[in-house]
């Protein structure tokens, strides 16, 4: 019974930035996030993975660093053809090397969606944005939508 109680608490626990008193508040939050979202297209050579204090993040050309939420990390793993659970067990530097080896290296641009989720001043300690899953929080998310061609090793 104790296990079920702990599982229920974990399932329904939300951090303050994920809690809304009313449906209307949630709706407004979603509309604001949508309005602050921007679709971007970058060639694989302009996208770099970097290791920060909270895990991996993406660096996009001269736009700066963006983090990953759970969904975008899953998309990154799918694009690279690697198992998400396996990569989650690796250290951040090792995971970075895995992605460097397995992500597309062609010239076809990748579609990315950046979303400002809350102003940086509300989270002054964040440097890069969201991390892998819930490892790092901040003011921007990076969601990988897909695309790209994989360069085959000969």
pLDDT digits (tens, 9 = 90+) for 47-81: 888 887 778 888 887 777 787 778 888 888 998 99
pLDDT tier at 131, thresholds 50, 70, 90: very low
Q: What is the pLDDT of residue 1?
A: 61
Q: Is residue 126 part of a domain?
A: yes
The domain in which residue 98 lies consists of: 31-146
End-to-end CA separation in angstroms for the chain: 56
Q: Is residue 9 part of a domain?
A: no
Q: What is the pLDDT of residue 3?
A: 67
Lowest-confidence region among 34-48, 63-77, 82-96, 134-148: 134-148
Q: Is residue 68 part of a domain?
A: yes
What is the count of structural domains for the chain?
Answer: 1
Per the listing, tokens 């001043």 go with: 121
Q: Is residue 44 part of a domain?
A: yes
Q: Is residue 37 part of a domain?
A: yes
User: 93 CB contacts (<8 Å, ≥6 apart)?
Assistant: 51
What ranges in 13-150 are assigned the alpha helix state H? 23-35, 70-80, 84-88, 92-102
Q: Is residue 16 part of a domain?
A: no
Q: Is residue 129 part of a domain?
A: yes
């Amino acid at each position: 019974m104790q296990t079920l109680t702990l599982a229920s608490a974990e399932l329904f626990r939300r951090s303050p930035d994920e809690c809304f008193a009313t449906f209307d508040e949630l709706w407004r939050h979603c509309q604001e996030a949508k309005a602050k979202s921007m679709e971007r297209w970058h060639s694989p050579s302009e996208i770099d993975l970097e290791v920060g204090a909270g895990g991996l993040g993406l660096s996009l050309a001269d736009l700066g660093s963006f983090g990953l939420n759970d969904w975008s990390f899953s998309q990154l793993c799918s694009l690279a053809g690697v198992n998400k659970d396996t990569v989650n067990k690796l250290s951040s530097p090792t995971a970075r090397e895995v992605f460097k080896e397995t992500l597309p290296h062609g010239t076809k641009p990748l579609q990315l969606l950046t979303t400002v989720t809350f102003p940086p001043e509300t989270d002054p300690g964040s440097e890069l944005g969201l991390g892998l899953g819930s490892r790092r929080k901040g003011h921007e998310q990076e969601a990988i939508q897909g695309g790209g061609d994989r360069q085959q090793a000969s």
